[in-house]
């Protein structure tokens, strides 16, 4: 869902990512036949992934964020294959093992969707998971070296 981290500023608690909606995907077979539309739940997932990268940067990949709550999700228009989305997130609050963020997606500067997301932040359940996430981070141009101690 997130193809590239464009800009990240953990001090300001903000991130900007890009996500290209695939031209071909099994998700479009039933949603909808003859007129493929990106499911709203996957738009929320893309915003959650964007926020997750920011949370990982804030805690230097020491803990794993997972989506706990979606509030006030608003979907404003259809998203179709081939569109290149801008995904933004800003952390509003951190503490007691939780992070709350506001996030939104736009296309050519026009709003697509938005939500308030809450994440639970806990130790990695097992080491291989962190290793896999670090590999994916490199694939999406996340500046891993700036946030992970060697």
The answer to whether residues 102 and 92 touch, using CB atoms and an 8 Å cutoff, is yes
- Specify the higher pLDDT residue, 111 or 127: 111
pLDDT of residue 72: 97
Query: Tokens 């228009």 label which residue?
Result: 77
**CATH superfamily of this structure's domain 4-24+34-127:** Hotdog Thioesterase (3.10.129.10)
Q: Give 56-77 pLDDT, tens digit per residue.
A: 999 999 999 999 999 999 999 9
pLDDT of residue 150: 60
Q: Which residues are catalytic?
A: 31
Q: Which residue in 111, 64, 66 sits closest to 87, CA to CA?
A: 111
Sheet containing 98-107: which strands, arranged edge to edge? Answer: 4-9, 14-20, 84-95, 98-107, 110-123, 63-75
How far is residue 105's CA from residue 78's CA, in Å, rounded to a whole number? 12
* Mean pLDDT (whole number) for 38-54: 98
pTM (two decimals): 0.96
- Specify the higher pLDDT residue, 30 or 86: 86
pLDDT of residue 149: 76
Q: Give 1-35 pLDDT, tens digit per residue.
A: 899 999 999 999 999 999 999 999 999 988 998 99
* Mean pLDDT (whole number) for 75-94: 98
Q: In sequence order, which residues have a C-beta less than 8 Å from that of residue 100 and are 6 or more positions away?
A: 91, 92, 93, 94, 116, 117, 118, 119
pLDDT of residue 33: 87
């Amino acid at each position: 869902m997130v193809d590239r981290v464009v800009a990240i500023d953990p001090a300001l608690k903000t991130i900007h990512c890009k996500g290209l909606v695939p031209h071909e995907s099994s998700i479009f077979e039933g949603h909808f036949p003859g007129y493929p539309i990106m499911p709203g739940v996957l738009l929320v997932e893309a915003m959650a992934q964007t926020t997750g990268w920011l949370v990982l940067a804030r805690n230097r990949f020491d803990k794993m964020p997972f989506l706990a709550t979606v509030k006030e999700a608003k979907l404003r228009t259809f998203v179709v294959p081939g569109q290149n989305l801008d995904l933004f997130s800003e952390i509003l609050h951190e503490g007691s093992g939780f992070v709350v963020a506001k996030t939104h997606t736009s296309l050519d500067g026009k709003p697509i969707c938005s939500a308030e997301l809450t994440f639970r932040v806990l130790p990695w359940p097992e080491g291989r998971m962190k290793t896999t996430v670090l590999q994916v981070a490199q694939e999406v141009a996340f500046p891993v070296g700036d946030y992970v101690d060697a």
